[in-house]
Homo-oligomer: A and B are copies of this chain.
Amino acid sequence: MSNYQMPTLQDVLAARPYVYRHLQRTPLHYYPTLSTFMGAQVWIKHENHQPIGAFKVRGGLNLAARLTPSQQQAGLFTASTGNHGQSIAFAARAHGIKATIAVPQGANPGKVAAMRGLGAEVLFHGRDFDAAREWIMGVAEEKQGVFVGPTDDPLIHGVGTYALEILEDLPDVDTIIVPVGAGSGVCGAAIVAKAINPRIEVIAVQSEAAPAMHLSWKTGEMVTAPMETFAEGIATRVPFANTQKIMRHYLDEFVLVSDVAIQQAILLLLHHTHNLAEGAGAAAAAAALDLKGHLAGKKVVLVMSGGNLSLKTLKMLLVQKDDDEQDFAA
């Protein structure tokens, strides 16, 4: 990675036309009652409003738009158990090319149906994500297709467009809090925010139950760690080198929150915004509650990165919770 050229604001600007050919801007909404509850001025960046329900689709579209004709012909190959796969499937369909996505045996039927609904070929292989990924890399090589990793630069460039929208809608934002899985979302925000105004604070958040990216950032080493969070969008076992490099350069802070705090934040957001966040999408809200003193009175943007929570999990959270919505009143 020593020659790695970090993405810049220019890369993000260049991605915009390719993103907006197929997507529209997502709203940045201010929530008065949530703000009172949190003791800050709180906006939500609604990436859960994307057609696949997650920010990643921006990256997939930029990547697909940059393929050569022969690459388009050969198609895209990737592995995913979640939103990344839907992003690649959506982008491939939008560009009339083929996507082949490997998932481990026993993958969530709802996610498989969603990827197939978008026209992707979904192949089951191996016991876990890593096995599926290794296998599909081999398939891609054999077929001279394009293997897409979750932090490929064109994905970061495309994803960064959400942060430009934040800066357009709220130029005097103080703090942006972003959940971290592979890191493309927080890197996109950091590249954009720091280029425009270095005083904008960018804070990353991960679950205590999957702290590999956090530990790697804190220590400066590539640290593999247990991955036991329920929130698959931020479930990383092995850190990613390129996003780590960007994060080390730009990031102000990286906090951990508990899975329980994330689950409570899902309900808090549902109550105040009537938007369903998946675990990753609620992690920024959980972090903001932990950072209440630091954020007091500031203009804070919480990135709701995605909304793809299952009904089963939602039901579990609602049943666990006491019946009193007053918990969420200020």
Q: Is the CB of A271 within 8 A of B311?
A: yes
Q: Is the CB of B49 within 8 A of A46?
A: yes
Copies in the assembly, this chain: 2
Q: Chain B CB within 10 Å — which of A118, A278, A310, A311 has the most?
A: A311
Residues on B with C-beta less than 8 A from A53 are: 273-274
From A327, which residue of chain B is reached at the shortest CB distance? B311
Report the separation of the CA atoms of residues A187 and B285 in the bound assembly, to the nearest whole angstrom: 39
Partner of A325, one of B118, B271, B310: B310
From A309, which residue of chain B is reached at the shortest CB distance? B274
Report the separation of the CA atoms of residues A312 and B278 in the bound assembly, to the nearest whole angstrom: 19
Q: A307 interface residue, CB < 8 Å from B?
A: yes
Q: Is the CB of B329 within 8 A of A311?
A: no
Beyond A117-B36, A276-B274, whether A267 also contacts B311 by CB under 8 A is yes
Q: Is the CB of A311 within 8 A of B270?
A: yes
Q: A32 interface residue, CB < 8 Å from B?
A: yes
From A54, which residue of chain B is reached at the shortest CB distance? B274
Q: Which of A132-140, A239-247, A249-257, A313-321 interfaces with chain B?
A: A313-321
Residues on B with C-beta less than 8 A from A33 are: 113-114, 117
Which A positions have Cβ atoms within 8 angstroms of B?
A: 24-25, 27, 29-33, 35-36, 46, 48-49, 51, 53, 109-110, 113-114, 117-118, 267, 270-271, 273-276, 278, 307-312, 314-315, 318-319, 321, 323, 325-326, 329
Q: List 13 A-B contacts (CB under 8 A).
A: A27-B49, A27-B51, A30-B51, A32-B117, A36-B117, A46-B49, A274-B276, A275-B307, A276-B276, A311-B318, A312-B325, A314-B314, A314-B318
